[in-house]
């Protein structure tokens, strides 16, 4: 019963986090999304100027400075007002944050599923189970060599974060036009792939 309750609770929390993430990416609360987006950009731009160790240390010092100052302020305020409200972070200190064995097993199973799926897909691509898919993968890797030569990892990460907070809104506002162009591109790609399959021996997909 306890395991079932924990699983239900985690499913509810995951669904809640997913809804919050969607709300952030679609800017449904402009102030909240602006804070999260700005914080991500500030962190990433900081990493372009300082080492990871320095950024983590500065963030930890900033958080400690805020919490220690607030704790001292509340203690002084309670002494002046002669009240006994207790520790200002008592609610957070008593909050349960540990994971149960069943929850850990659940996440481990999810991770195992993703790792196995990725391993099978990579094996299929590198051992050329489907020639067309392997050629597509080769073209993608070739393009990534140029991307890697132009941008470093942090720059790509910054671009990814900016895209995450902008593309969903753009797509939502111009969905019909974007779907139309994507359909045309997909049709053109399928036509080209079909011609390649017809000309290369063994390139046709095997029917299952």
44 and 157 in contact (C-beta within 8 Å)? yes
Residue 47 lies in a domain: no
Residue 177 lies in a domain: yes
**Residue 8, pLDDT score:** 61
| C-alpha closest to that of 90 among 103, 101, 79, 74 | 74
Output the pTM of the full model: 0.61
**Residue 150, pLDDT score:** 85
**Residue 10, pLDDT score:** 55
Residue 130 lies in a domain: no
* 126-161 as b/e: b if 16+ CB within 10 A: eeeebbbebbebeeeeeeeeeeeeeeeeeeeebeee
Residue 181 lies in a domain: yes
Residue 137 lies in a domain: no
Residue 14 lies in a domain: no
Residue 32 lies in a domain: no
> What's the total number of domains in the chain?
1
CA distance 158 to 140: 21
pLDDT string in tens for the chain (208-residue length) = 545 555 565 565 566 677 888 888 888 888 888 898 998 898 888 888 888 899 899 999 999 999 999 999 988 888 888 777 778 888 888 877 777 788 788 888 889 999 999 999 999 999 988 888 888 899 899 998 888 888 888 888 899 899 988 988 888 888 888 888 888 888 888 887 777 767 766 555 554 4
Residue 176 lies in a domain: yes
What residue numbers bound the domain in which 195 lies?
Answer: 165-200
Lookup result for tokens 């063994």: 202
Using N-to-C axis directions, what is the helix angle for 153-173 and 30-49, rounded to 10°?
160
């Amino acid at each position: 019963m306890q395991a079932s309750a924990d699983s239900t609770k985690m499913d509810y929390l995951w669904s809640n986090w997913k809804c919050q993430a969607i709300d952030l990416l679609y800017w449904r609360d402009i102030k909240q999304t602006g804070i999260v987006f700005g914080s991500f950009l500030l962190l990433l731009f900081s990493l372009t100027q300082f080492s990871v160790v320095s950024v983590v240390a500065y963030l930890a010092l900033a958080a400690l400075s805020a919490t220690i100052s607030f704790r001292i302020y509340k203690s002084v305020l309670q002494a002046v007002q002669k009240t006994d409200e207790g520790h200002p972070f008592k609610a957070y200190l008593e909050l349960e944050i540990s994971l149960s064995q069943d929850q850990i097993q659940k996440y481990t199973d999810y991770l195992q599923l993703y790792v196995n799926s990725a391993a099978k897909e990579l094996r299929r691509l590198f051992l050329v189970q489907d020639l067309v898919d392997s050629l597509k993968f080769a073209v993608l890797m070739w393009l990534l060599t140029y991307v890697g030569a132009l941008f470093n990892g942090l720059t790509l990460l910054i671009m990814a974060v900016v895209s995450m907070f902008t593309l969903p809104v753009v797509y939502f506002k111009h969905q019909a036009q974007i779907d139309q162009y994507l359909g045309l591109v997909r049709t053109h790609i399928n036509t080209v792939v079909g011609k390649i399959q017809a000309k290369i021996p063994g390139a046709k997909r095997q029917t299952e």
